Structure 1
Amino acid sequence: MSLELPVDVTDNLEARILGGLDEEQRHVASTLTGPMSVLAGAGTGKTRAITHRIAYGVHSGVYKPQQVLAVTFTARAAAEMRTRLRDLGVGGVQARTFHAAALRQLQYFWPHAVGGPLPGLLDHKAQVIAESARRLRLTTDRAAIRDLAAEIEWAKVSMLTPDTYLKAAAGRVEPAGFDLTTISRLFQAYEDVKTDRNIIDFEDVLLITVGILQEDAKVAATVRDQYRHFVVDEYQDVSPLQQRLLDLWLGPRDELCVVGDASQTIYSFTGATSRHLLEFTKRFPGAEVVKLVRDYRSTPQVVNLANSLLAARTKQPRRGGSDPWPAPLELIAQRPTGPEPSFTECADDEAEAAQVAGRIRTLLNEGVAASQIAVLYRTNGQSEAYEQALASADIGYQLRGGERFFRRKEVRDAMLQLRAGARAAGTDPVPQLVRDILANLGYTAQAPQSGGAVRERWESLAALVALADELDKARGSAAGGVFTLQDLVTELEERAAAQHAPTVQGVTLASLHSAKGLEWDAVFLVGLSEGLMPISFADTDDAVDEERRLLYVGITRAREHLALSWSLARTPGGRANRKPSRFLDGLRPQSSSSVQSRTGAKPSRRKQAAPAVCRVCGTMLNSGAERKVGRCQNCPPTYEESTFDALRQWRKDTALEASVPAFVVFTDATLVAIAEARPQSMQELSRLAGVGPAKLERYGEDVLRILSDN
């Protein structure tokens, strides 16, 4: 039920906390007691609703901030929630991941409940799994170890032991080609190695905390006295182990608000299940259910496509499936109309990457910021083609999952300088102080014209300046508060601990899974062919359903521009035996289907251009590297070794100076083509594959000089 307060207090709170919320969000934010399930579609403002709910509860006196625990699934999401709560004037609320909250409790209660020092925490399983495999004389490679680690994680979050694993895993795909009995033995060996080394993994943190809460009534009572109100975000992704921990935190009470969307369940392979969200009202029969369906993120065109994707799911009998397909939330777009999503069929992967880079260049020229553009793919192995295409087009990019922002040298130096500056800060506004301090590290108001490492360093510093501007606006004089340089330093330290990086200029390259929770003005969904979307090993209805939900997540990341593409062949000149994803059936206009060549032309589907042949022996060239060189791999190279070595050394020096991978300067195939063709002029050099206008301008003179000297 909604809280009743004196009129003057209510009016003030409504203006400050509830103002700007829509009817459904307002209901979530003002209903402070009892169980509540919030079914929130993509882009419907769920984080806004629950943070305002917590703020309203604290400011009204119903909640004590220290007695609220907000749980989410990533450190970044938890950090963002804490930031939003601080902006609403609410400090002291614990917003953490399940693992972070459990670890904090375990560190506190271990000496009393178990005794002795807490075992060391294992960051990565690979080394321990490799040792376990050696004990059993099993042959493994890196890919097998990764698959085995995933299987052990699934077993542990499903609360299985090596003894109970065999029965529960019946029917599962055998990871890394090992039978389930072998996996069970490896699971036991893994646990033995950890015991020998006195270490625990992240799943153990949850399991041990659950065990202590179950066995020690005093510990359970202490935790339940500490936390009285719980909010769980992304509830569709909880595992059985996380649900068990939540049950123990909650005890017999029902002060629980959960938020989720079954249509965004994309982590079933880790043990996550939407069943807890869908069956919430069975456990709490009196629970309120609120649906958030007003989409404030995306244009009607994007929203309609997302709705159509879910509505088009097959009604045929299920094969090997168990979880129900819930009726999806039908989103209602709130933004003005925008461009129609585009569908592009390309001749091969190289052509697809090239056309995406060309369209990104167009968006950049139209004023769309690079940081507001993303290329999303199904597997991380697809990124290389887009890295090369963007590098060739002289477009900066950031690889999600690459070097972490707060580990960059210039960022570490900046934080040291800001920390020192905070001790002697004057009365100047924080944004100006930050600019003055970072100027010593190379920050300027205008971006440098050069690229490479110089530009990357500037972009890191510029991201810190932009964050200072943003926080000062939200918490400083403009918001009626005081925001100091020390406040900024504290914020940066918290963000560094949570890896909650500020926005950096550069096109984002990311897998669909890692894009969850993010959004961009323009999104390119690439590689949408059968075998990649859905992935080839999705061989049950449940697995295919999850792939459909994964594509839905990708579509709903886009605010305005959305482009979907696929290719018919893996390599230039290869067999065009790929088919577009079945998920696109009925969604794409037939007239939009076109084959894009490497140059962007649209050749006829019936009459393909003749494949390139080797200039030495006349055989067909099958790979992009062979086509660049004009020679098959079986024919010997025609360049002089000294020339090729000189070019390679120059490329190495140039890449080191710019702090970029060598292939960003020129790929091996392009370097071979240069050495064999020995162009005499800029015009001749420009005709070679892999030498675009930007690279010609940047490296052309150096290349011609090396060829002349060798």
Structure 2
Amino acid sequence: MRIDVSKLLEHLNPAQREAVEHRGTPLMVLAGAGSGKTRVLTHRVAHLIATGDAEPRNILAVTFTNKAAKEMKERIWALLGNSHRELWVGTFHATCARILRGHGHLLGFDLNFSILDEGDQLALAKECCRELNLDTNRFPPSLLLRHVSNAKQNFIDPEEYMAQWAGDYLKGRVARFYALYQEKLKGSQAMDFDDLLFFVLKLFLEHREVLDLYRRRWRHVLVDEFQDTNQIQYRMVKLLAEEHRQVCVVGDDDQSIYSWRGADPGNILRFDRDFPEVRIVRLEQNYRSTRNIIRASSSLISKNRMRKGKDLWTANEPGEMVSV
């Protein structure tokens, strides 16, 4: 299927077009709500392929939900045709699971390891509590799992966690729980969702040949909802892209709402430091909301000083006045 490059750029506003066409340096797209960020991502992927700048198999595009990944795939295939199914588009967790299916043996895992859902995790947590004689009123299994999840998202293994909290009675109990929980997971050849990220980063750091393999494979890395990345996800992206520098991140620090599950909006500010040659494109035209909604939301968010500035606007009608 021959792709008409000019048609890919039709109906894009100037900022969207710049984001789609940019090459040569890292790219950060600061995309306000309703500004067409999914269109930019999908058109950028299609444009990379249509211009011959990238082969489908050399592109990695990651996002956070299965729904978003499915939508991205469908939009890209609509632009390119179904012949380009070598594209690797998926969630961070699905991408990591696929990597571990191929290389997890290097960390002692069977390639057919199982992945625990929340119910399985809770059942295992209760089993650990029983073995450790932990009072589940004082140490609820669900709370212990949250502590473990937070540790994993910050790339802290049980040994390091134990060393950090050796003199703390309560955290010391959490450390013992964490160690037993991981021991039982490994013994069952199982992982939880946080493990998928944790062990891929461990794999990249301890087995350079695996990191180099994926660096060569994924010559272009695109990340959606970048404001929702945690420390491990950021480090993975940085490792994959720090040599070829062909990385595009799309996000909006004004829409960061998942800090409670490990998301670090500071990654948007950190990207400038780690990729100082980054080109920043702001998508500021809102296609979804009325002028009064834009005015009210901009007034509120402007009070946050820890953000990248954006000046949202819309050509839509004023709409009703906003009242609280």
Same fold flag (TM > 0.5) = yes
Match for 2:321 among 340, 345, 351?
340
Partner of 1:62, secondary structure, is coil
Match for 2:183 among 167, 192, 196?
192
Q: Which residue is equivalent to 1:268?
A: 259
- Residues 311 and 34 of structure 1: CA distance in aligned 2, closer, same or farther (over 3 Å): closer
Q: Which residue is equivalent to 2:124?
A: 128
Partner of 1:333, secondary structure, is coil
Task: Give the partner amino acid of 1:35.
Answer: P
Match for 2:209 among 215, 218, 221?
218
State whether residues 229 and 263 of structure 2, in contact with CA within 8 Å, keep that contact through their aligned partners in structure 1.
yes
State whether residues 152 and 187 of structure 1, in contact with CA within 8 Å, keep that contact through their aligned partners in structure 2.
yes
Deviation string 1:613-637 (CA, Å, 9 cap, x unpaired) is xxxxxxxxxxxxxxxxxxxxxxxxx
Task: Give the partner amino acid of 2:153.
Answer: V
- Residues 186 and 255 of structure 1: CA distance in aligned 2, closer, same or farther (over 3 Å): same
Match for 2:98 among 81, 97, 104?
104
Structure 1 distance, partners of 2:202, 2:222, is 22
Structure 1 distance, partners of 2:97, 2:187, is 21
2:135 aligned with 1:162, yes or no?
no
Q: CA deviation at 1:327?
A: 4.8
Q: Which residue is equivalent to 1:95?
A: 89
Partner of 1:179, secondary structure, is helix
TM-score, normalised relative to structure 1? 0.42
Q: Which residue is equivalent to 1:137?
A: 133
Q: CA deviation at 1:297?
A: 1.0
Structure 2 distance, partners of 1:70, 1:221, is 18
Matches within 5 A, 1:383-398: none
Match for 1:149 among 128, 141, 145?
145
Q: How many residues get paired?
A: 317
RMSD of aligned C-alpha atoms? Answer: 2.7
State whether residues 28 and 290 of structure 1, in contact with CA within 8 Å, keep that contact through their aligned partners in structure 2.
yes
State whether residues 293 and 330 of structure 1, in contact with CA within 8 Å, keep that contact through their aligned partners in structure 2.
yes
Structure 2 distance, partners of 1:47, 1:141, is 45
Structure 1 distance, partners of 2:201, 2:80, is 33
2:225 aligned with 1:234, yes or no?
yes
Gaps of 5+ in 1: 1-8, 314-323, 344-710
Deviation string 1:83-136 (CA, Å, 9 cap, x unpaired) is 110111253222111111111111122357757544322122211111111122
Q: Which residue is equivalent to 2:56?
A: 65
State whether residues 224 and 251 of structure 2, in contact with CA within 8 Å, keep that contact through their aligned partners in structure 1.
yes
2:36 aligned with 1:45, yes or no?
yes
Task: Give the partner amino acid of 1:257.
Answer: C
Deviation string 1:404-434 (CA, Å, 9 cap, x unpaired) is xxxxxxxxxxxxxxxxxxxxxxxxxxxxxxx
Deviation string 1:33-55 (CA, Å, 9 cap, x unpaired) is 32111111111111111211111
Identity %: 31
Structure 1 distance, partners of 2:250, 2:56, is 20
Matches within 5 A, 1:420-569: none
Task: Give the partner amino acid of 1:210.
Answer: L
State whether residues 162 and 176 of structure 2, in contact with CA within 8 Å, keep that contact through their aligned partners in structure 1.
no
Matches within 5 A, 1:253-332: 253-312=244-303, 325-332=306-313
- Residues 168 and 233 of structure 1: CA distance in aligned 2, closer, same or farther (over 3 Å): farther
- Residues 335 and 147 of structure 1: CA distance in aligned 2, closer, same or farther (over 3 Å): farther
Partner of 2:140, secondary structure, is helix
Deviation string 1:508-532 (CA, Å, 9 cap, x unpaired) is xxxxxxxxxxxxxxxxxxxxxxxxx
- Residues 43 and 166 of structure 1: CA distance in aligned 2, closer, same or farther (over 3 Å): farther
2:113 aligned with 1:119, yes or no?
yes
Structure 2 distance, partners of 1:68, 1:114, is 29
Task: Give the partner amino acid of 2:28.
Answer: S
Q: CA deviation at 1:161?
A: 2.1
Task: Give the partner amino acid of 1:13.
Answer: V
Structure 1 distance, partners of 2:242, 2:17, is 28
Gaps of 5+ in 2: none
TM-score, normalised relative to structure 2? 0.89
Which structure has more RCO (C-alpha within 8 Å, separation ≥ 6)? 2
